[in-house]
Amino acid sequence: MHSFEYSAPHSLSDAVSLLAQAEGNARPLAGGTDLIDQMQTGRFRPALVIDIKKLPELNVLEFDGDGLHLGAAVPCYRIYGEPRIVQEYSALADACHIIGGVQIQSRASVGGNLCNSGPAADSTPAMIALSAICVIAGPGETRQVPVEEFCTAPGENVLRRGEILAEILFPPRPANSGSHYRRFIPRNEMDIAVVGVGAFVELEDDGQTIKTARIGLGAVAPTPLLAEDLSASLSGKPATDSTFVSAGEAARQIITPITDMRGTAEYRKQITGVLVQRVLATATARARGEPSEYKPGK
C-alpha cells in the first residue's frame, strides 16, 4: 500500500471541510472494508484518508415519526442487533447479516456499502425496496436523494466534491407489510452476489391482495435498480405463487446484466427470476406475520 496522510476529525463539519480542501485527493474511511482493500490493490491512491467512523452524526440509530434514522457509519452488527430493525425493516437486517463474515460485519457500514457504489452491493437493493432516502451533508445545503438514484455507474454516485453521506432515512413501516433481501451466491456464505433481490410487500387488510410492492435488484445492471413498473404492476394482484412466478418472469425482461466470471447474462436472468419469485414469497409471508423459512445459505 502507498504512503498517505490520515486524519480523524471530531465533527461532520470538520470532515466536510477537510474533504473539500483535498480537492478530490481524499477518501472518507468508515469501516474501511472496501477502501483498504482498494488501496492495497492500487485502485485508489488517496493522499489523505479521512476517518469518519466515530463521528457522532454518522452513528445515530434512532426511530421517530419520520421512521428510522440510520447514521451512514453504523456497522452491520448494530443494525441486525436492533430488534426493531429486524422486525420492521427485515430486508435491511437480512442484507447486513450476509455482508462478509462476523469480523467484516463489525466494521462494515451500510453507508460505506452505498458509497462504494458497486452494482452487487448487498444492502442497496434492500434499501431501495424499503424506500430509503440518502441524507447528504456538504459545504452547501444538506440534500436528500432516494437510494435508487444514488449510484450513477459502477463505483460512481451523486456525491459532489466535499460531500459526505451522513444518514439514511427509512420511512415508517406500514401495517400488513414485510420485506426481505436475498442474494444468489454459488456457496453458502461469504461471497459476492451474482444476483441480489430486495422486496417490500404491503398487503390489503384481507392479507391476500398486494396493496403496494417495491423490488430492488442488484448485480444485474451498472447500478442497483428499482424495478419501478414491475413493482407498480403488482398492486391489486393476489399474493399467490403464480403472481410471484409472473413477477420473476417480468423481472428477467427489465434487467441488463453483463457476462463476467461470476455468470453469463443469460444465467443471471434465470437466477433473477427465481430470486424475485422467492423473495416476494418470503416478504409476503412476513407481511402476514407468518414464520419465515428463510435461512441464509440454505
Partner 1 sequence: MAEVFWPPQGSASLLGGEHNRIDGLAKCIGSAKYAYDVVPDNMLVASALSCPHAHATIRAIDLNAARNMAGVVAVEPLKKEGDEIRWEGDLVAVVAGETEAAVAEGLAAIKIEYEVLDHFVDDTDLDAATEANVTRPAGRNTQLQNRDEDADQEFERLFNEAAVTFEGHYGINVITHMCLETHGSTCESQGDKLVSHLSTQNVSGTPGQIAGPIGLTAQDVTVHCDYIGGGFGSKFAADAWGVTCAQLARNTGRPVKYMLTRSQELKNAGNRPSGFLRAKIAADKDGFVTAWDSAHWGTNGTSGAPVSQGVIPYVFNPPNRRRVATGIRTNTSPARAWRAPNHPQGCAITQTAYDDVARHLGLDSYDVFLRNLSTVGERAPIYEDQMKLAAKLMDWKAKWHPHGKGGQDGSVVSGLGMAIHTWGGGPHASRATCKIHPDGGVEIFLGSQDLGTGTRTVIGLVVAETLGLELEQVSVQIGLSEYPSSGPSGGSTTVGGVSESTRRAATAALNLLLTKVAPRLEADANQLEAVGGKIQIQGNQNRNISWKEACGQIGISPIEAQGEYAPRVTYPRNYDGKRLTDNGVAGVQMAEVAVDTETGVVKMKKFVAVQDIGLIINRKTARSQIYGAAIMGIAYALFEERIMDKATGAFVNAELADYKLPRLGDTGEIVVELYEPESEYNRGVIGLGEPPVISPGAAISNAVCNALGKRVSVLPITPQRVLEAISGGA
The only residue of 21, 142, 144, 188 in contact with partner 1, by rule CB under 8 A: 188
Decide whether 77 or 267 has the Cβ nearer to partner 1: 267
Q: What is the total count of residues that contact partner 1 (CB under 8 A)?
A: 20
**CB contact set of 42 (below 8 Å; sequence gap of 6+):** 2
Decide whether 1 or 232 has the Cβ nearer to partner 1: 1
Strand ranges in the chain using DSSP code E only, listed in sequence order: 5-7, 26-29, 48-51, 61-64, 67-71, 133-137, 143-146, 151-153, 156-157, 164-170, 177-184, 195-203, 210-218, 225-226
The only residue of 5, 156, 189, 228 in contact with partner 1, by rule CB under 8 A: 189
The only residue of 51, 149, 191, 204 in contact with partner 1, by rule CB under 8 A: 191
Q: At what angle do helices 265-287 and 241-254 cross, to 10 degrees?
A: 140
Decide whether 39 or 91 has the Cβ nearer to partner 1: 39
- Say how far apart CA 280 and CA 161 lie, in whole Å: 38
Q: Do 128 and 33 meet the contact criterion of CB atoms below 8 Å apart?
A: no
Q: Per-residue x/- marks for partner 1, 30-69, CB under 8 A?
A: ------------x---------------------------
Degrees to nearest 5, angle at CA 285 with 197 and 207: 120
The answer to whether 3 contacts partner 1 (rule: CB under 8 A) is yes
The answer to whether 190 contacts partner 1 (rule: CB under 8 A) is yes
Q: Do 138 and 160 meet the contact criterion of CB atoms below 8 Å apart?
A: yes
The only residue of 141, 175, 261, 289 in contact with partner 1, by rule CB under 8 A: 261
DSSP secondary structure letter of residue 267: H
Residue 281 CB, shortest distance to partner 1, in Å, is: 12
Footprint of partner 1 (CB under 8 A): 1-3, 42, 184, 186-192, 261, 263-264, 267, 270-271, 274, 297
